[in-house]
Amino acid sequence: MKMTTILSAAAAAIVLTSGAAMAHPGKGHGGPGYKSGYSQQQIKHHRGAGPAQRAAIARSAANLAALKRRAWRDGRLSMIEKAQIRNAERRHAALVQRVHRFR
């Protein structure tokens, strides 16, 4: 009797947590039409940054967009591709923050 209670409680906990995980997948779970974070119009708004810094931001955004295009080419994201995209997004955001910190 006690063993069935423990097993049913464990099964209920697993069911509840898996449902919560599926309810909101979070950022990075776009689809084949996933858009990159920055457009050319947004890059032009980095006023106060020098031309070299704007070029670095543009290069970083282009590299990020190219990485996302390559990753989504087959229509699926592997765990490695997800990690690469997260790292590239983090590097790009850090670059933008560094540029804007010293304006």
* pLDDT tens per residue across span 4-43: 777 677 676 676 565 544 454 455 555 555 555 555 555 5
The count of other CB atoms within 10 Å of the CB of residue 49 is 18
Rounded distance, CA 60 to CA 75, Å? 23
Tell whether the model's pLDDT for residue 94 goes beyond 50. yes
C-beta separation of 43 from 57 below 8 A: yes
Tell whether the model's pLDDT for residue 84 goes beyond 80. yes
Model-level pTM? 0.53
